[in-house]
Amino acid sequence: MQAINFFIFFILSVVVLSCSSSKIVQKDINQQFNAFTNADFKTKSVDSVLNSLINLTVRQREDSLVSSMSKGWMPTYNFQFKEVSYTYKNTSGEKYKIRFWVTPDYLSIGNDDDFVRMPLTPQAAQLLANQFHCALPTAKMVDEIYKKASVKLPPIPLTENRDSLATFTKHHLLIQQQLQHKIPNGIVAGIKKDVVQSTAILNNPKSNRVAIYGWHKLNGKPIQPLYTGHVDWYVDYSHGIRLIYEKMLINNKVHLVKDVLNNPELAGSICNDSKCAMMRYGKAKMD
């Protein structure tokens, strides 16, 4: 009887610890994004903003977008980070329970009623990630996000004017048609390639690269293998920015994503690069 009671106590303790750790991270996320009310943008239409960006250079366009998005002009549903969990087994056979939190959709400008998913260069994406206490995903994280997605849509490739603002909007509208113009319930995936962090950039003989990966088909296979061939000022309609909150759990213990990536024993749980380390865009450096 004592053995049974101890076992029950142990199980309950694990459950309580798990819930407690999860609540700590979720509370941090809520506090981080509660300040955004969109009050300054209630009378601002996305169409009017897009029209104002048409004749700007990529740098000018992104300066404007980052300024607005950093003030909270983004759909509030995308501030409701979702948990991705799975079990990781290292080369020694040790198992770890991994949990991290992600934006359910790719970053957009606008509000819940009027928005456009907006591709960004990695520099702009990094600025927003830094401000919101987040990181960009690794390719392994993108795979795990796809597995846990509650809404999986078939990709819609386009071939003309790939880097034009008009094509960005066209692709967004096609995705909205797939979603029947509803806000996705849970994580949506299969709609964009991800701008990811990867040390493969640092190994590229050419400087100033961006790493992209993903755009999974319904069979779970990504259209885009990890690729670092584009210069980092290039961005097209297929690129999406999904954020990972900076805190995660490993066996119910809170860790910083950057510390996990920089830890040789734990990095494999969220990274499958040949050499894993936290990387930030800007000067494409390791942290």
Q: What is the pLDDT of residues 209-233, one digit of tens each?
A: 999 999 999 999 999 999 999 999 9
User: For residue range 93-133, what is the model confidence (pLDDT) as tens digits?
Assistant: 999 999 999 999 999 999 999 999 999 999 999 999 999 99
Judged by DSSP in three states, 249 sits in: strand
- pLDDT interval class at 39 (50, 70, 90): low
The span from the first CA to the last CA of the chain, in angstroms, equals 52
Q: What is the pLDDT of residue 41?
A: 61
Which residue in 144, 152, 15, 12 sits closest to 83, CA to CA?
Answer: 144
Nearest-angstrom CA–CA distance, 260 and 266:
6
Measure CA 199 to chain center. 17
Mean pLDDT for all residues in the chain: 90
Q: For the chain, give every domain's residue range.
A: 2-286
pLDDT of 239 strictly over 80: yes
Q: Give the distance from CA 226 to its chain's centroid.
A: 16
Beta-carbon neighbour count of residue 105 at 10 Å? Answer: 27
Query: How do residues 42-56 score in pLDDT, each as one tens digit?
Result: 667 889 889 999 999
pLDDT score for 4? 52
Residue 227, Cβ neighbours under 10 Å: how many? 15
Residue 8 has pLDDT above 50, yes or no: no
| CA-to-CA separations, 63 to 156, 258, 267, 277, in angstroms, rounded | 28, 26, 33, 28
Nearest to 278 by CA among 264, 258, 260: 258
